[in-house]
Amino acid sequence: MLGFILKRIALLLPTLLGITIVSFGFVRVLPGDPVLLMAGERGIKPERYQKLMEQFGYDRPIWEQYLDYLNQLLHGNLGNSLVTKQPVVTEFFTLFPATVELSICALLIAVSIGIPAGIIAASKRGSFWDQSLMGTALVGYSMPIFWWGLLLIIVFSGWLQWTPVSGRISLLYYFPDVTGFMLIDSLLSGQKGAFTSALSHLVLPSIVLATIPLAVIARQTRSAMLEVLGEDYVRTARAKGLSPTRVVGVHALRNAMIPVITVIGLSVGTLLAGAILTETIFSWPGIGKWMVDSISRRDYPVVQSGLLMIAIVVMVVNLLVDMTYGFINPRIRHD
Amino acid sequence: MTDITKSPSAQDVKRQMRRQMLADFWFYFSENRGAVIGLWVFMALVLLAVFAPIFAPHGATEQYRDAFLVPPVWEEGGQWEFLLGTDAVGRDMLSRLIYGARFSLFIGVVVVGIAATTGVCIGLIAGYYRGAVDTIIMRIMDVILAFPSLLLALVMVAILGPGLLNAMIAIAIVLQPHFVRLTRASVLNERGKDYVTSARVAGASPFYLMTRTILPNCLGPVTVQATLSFSNAILDAAALGFLGMGAQPPTPEWGTMLAEAREFILRAWWVVTFPGLAILITVLAINLVGDGLRDALDPKMKRS
C-alpha cells in the first residue's frame, strides 16, 4: 500500500511542476511590463520603476526568475496582495474554511440525495420513477448555477423572506474564530440564535453548489447499479432467495460504489469551480469570491498564487480519492 | 438462370454500407424519446438564431425610453408590444433572447470546433507515436486538467482581456484536453489491431494511417464528447459573461444579460428569469441529444 501511495505521489510531481510554471508564467505573459501594470494608470517615477524592477527581479533572465520563484514557494512565500498588503497565504487560509464549509455541506446534500436517487432509478428501471428522477437529474446537470442561485434568492429571500440574501451570518452576532466553520463556531459561542442564523445563510448556497454534483452522482450511481445488477453474483443472491432490499443494498451497492466514489472525488474540482459562481452570487466570503474580486481589482499576486493553491488543493484531494480507491479495490494497487 | 444481376461496384457497396450505418444509428438514437425531443428543440433554436431578424419583434439593442422594466404581457401592466417585458433601459426581452441564441450557438460551434480539431490532432499524434512525444503531451494536458476549468478560463480571460473572442479561446483551451485524452485512448486501442498492421504493411504513410485508417474508428466517443463540450462551452461562456469577463454589454449574450439584470433581481423577476431559462433549455436540449448519441454510438449500451 505504501508503495502504491508513493508511486501516486511521484506521478504528481511533473504535474505539480507544470502548475508552478503556469502560475509563474501568468504574470510574464501579461501584455506589457508587470511593474507598469501594477502601477496602474497613475504612472510611476523612473527611479521607483527601476527599484521595483530590481526588487521583483524582473531584470534577470527568465529561468533565474523561475528558480527564484520556486525557491520562494518552497519557503512558503507566495507574495503579498497589492490591495490589502497581506501575505496571500494568510488571506487564503483565512478564507479557505468558508469555502470548505460550503463545499462540505454541498457534497453532503449531493451524496445523501444523489446516491439514493440513483439506486431507486436503477432498481425500478424504465418506470415512472426512473424517468422522472433521471429527467430531473439531467435538468440539474444542465443548470446554469449562477441563474439557479438568483432564482432561489428571488423565491426564498424575496417572496417568502425565509432566508437572508448574502453573507455567512447576521451582523448581530460576533464571536471568535475557533474552527473557521461558522456552524461549529456559532454553536461553541453559545449565543442564542447564532446557529440558526449561520444555518439559514448556508442553506441556499449549499443547494446551489450541490446541484451539479448531485445530478452527476445520481446518474453515475444509476448506471453503475445497472451494470452491477446484471452480474452473475447478483442473480445468485436473488436465486438464494435473499430479499430485494438486501440484494440491492448490500450485494450490488458495495460493488457499484467504486465508480461513484471516483465521481465524488472528481466533483471536488467542480465544487471549487462552482464556488466561484456561488460565492459571487451570495457574497460568501470564500476563496471563489476572493479570486473573482482579485481579478477585477487586478490584484495579480493574489490571482497568481490563488490559482496555484487551488490547483494544489484539487490535486491533493484527487490523490486522497485515489488512495481510498486503492483501499476499497485491492486490484488497483497491484496493476 | 444466366440472368445474373449486375455485381455492385465498390462505390455502391460503400454507399450502401454508409446508408445502413446511418439507418442503424437512427434506429438506436430514435429509441430514446428524450434525445429526439432534444434534437427538435435544438433545431428550433438553430432556426431562431439564423432567422433572428425575422422572428424578433424589435432590435436587440433598440431602446424604448417610455418602457423601462415593463413586465411580461400576462402580468399587470404588461404590454402586447413586449411579450416578455423589457429590461432596465427599455429593450425588448424577447428580441434580445432571440438574438442571444445566435451568440450561444456560435460560441458552442466555434469552441467545440477549435477544441475538437486541435484536441483530436494532438491525441492522434500522442497515441500514434507514443514515447517521449506522448509523455510530454499528456503531462501538459494533466497540468491543464489540474485546474478547475472555469477558474482557469477566468484567469486566462483576465490575462487576455475580457471579451467574447478571448472567452471562447480560453474555454476551448480548457475543454481541449478531454479530446486529447479520448482520442489518444482510442488510438492506443486501435493501433495494435490487424487492419492497421495490414495497412502499414501495404505501405500506408503515418499520416494516412492516422487520418484515414485509425481516426474513423475513434470518432464515436469523440462525437459524444463534442456534444457534451458544446453544452459546457455554452454554460462556461455564459458564466464568464455573468462574471463580466465574457461578452460585454450591450451584446445580447444570455450570461451578460443576467449580469446586467442582477441588481433588479428583487424588483423585476422577468429580467433575471428568462435569460437563464434560455440557457437552461438550450443546454438541456443538447445534453438530451448527447445522451441519445452515447446510447446509439456505444456498442456496450446496444446489447443491454
Alpha carbon of B9: minimum distance to chain A alpha carbons (Å) = 43
Give the pLDDT of residue B216: 85
Give the pLDDT of residue B304: 40
Give the pLDDT of residue B303: 42
Give the pLDDT of residue B235: 93
The residue of B37, B155, B169 whose CB has the most chain A CBs within 10 angstroms, and thus the best one to mutate to test that interface, is B155
Q: Map grid coordinates 444555518 to a residue.
A: A199
Alpha carbon of A239: minimum distance to chain B alpha carbons (Å) = 21
CA nearest B273 in A: which residue?
A151
Give the pLDDT of residue B41: 94
Alpha carbon of B3: minimum distance to chain A alpha carbons (Å) = 52
Alpha carbons B20 and B84: distance in angstroms, whole number: 46
Chain B within 8 Å of A141 (Cβ-Cβ)? yes
From chain B, the residues in CB contact with A154 under 8 A are 265-266, 269, 272-273
From chain B, the residues in CB contact with A143 under 8 A are 280, 283
Could you please report the per-residue DSSP string of chain B? ---PPPPPPHHHHHHHHHHHHHHHHHHHHHH-HHHHHHHHHHHHHHHHHHTHHHH-SS-SS---TT-TTPPPTTSTT--TTSTT-B-TTS-BHHHHHHHHHHHHHHHHHHHHHHHHHHHHHHHHHHHHH-HHHHHHHHHHHHHHHHS-HHHHHHHHHHHH-SSHHHHHHHHHHHHHHHHHHHHHHHHHHHHTSHHHHHHHHTT--HHHIIIIIIGGGGHHHHHHHHHHHHHHHHHHHHHHHHTTSSSPTTS--HHHHHHHHGGGTTT-HHHHHHHHHHHHHHHHHHHHHHHHHHHHH-HHHHH-
pLDDT average, residue stretch B246-256: 88
Per-residue pLDDT of chain A (335 residues; tens, 9 = 90+): 778 788 888 888 888 899 998 888 877 776 666 666 666 666 677 777 777 777 777 777 778 888 888 888 888 888 888 788 888 889 998 899 999 999 999 999 999 999 999 999 988 888 899 999 999 999 999 999 999 999 998 888 888 888 887 777 777 777 777 777 877 877 777 777 778 888 888 999 999 999 999 999 999 999 888 888 888 888 888 888 888 888 887 778 878 888 888 888 878 878 887 889 999 999 899 999 999 998 888 788 888 889 999 998 888 888 887 777 777 766 666 55
Alpha carbon of A8: minimum distance to chain B alpha carbons (Å) = 14
pLDDT average, residue stretch B51-77: 82
Alpha carbons A251 and A237: distance in angstroms, whole number: 8
Chain B within 8 Å of A98 (Cβ-Cβ)? no
**Could you tell me the pLDDT band of residue B53, with boundaries at 50, 70 and 90?**
confident
pLDDT average, residue stretch B265-279: 88
Q: Which residues 85-144 of chain B have a CB within 8 Å of chain A?
A: 139-140, 142-143
Residue B119 has pLDDT above 90, yes or no: yes
Alpha carbons A93 and A85: distance in angstroms, whole number: 15
Are B243 and A230 an interchain contact pair (Cβ–Cβ within 8 Å)?
A: no
Predicted TM-score (pTM) of the model is 0.87
Alpha carbons B265 and B87: distance in angstroms, whole number: 11
Residue B36 has pLDDT above 60, yes or no: yes
Gyration radius of chain B's alpha carbons: 24
Alpha carbons A299 and B50: distance in angstroms, whole number: 41
Q: Provide the CA B57 distance to its chain's centre, in angstroms.
A: 28
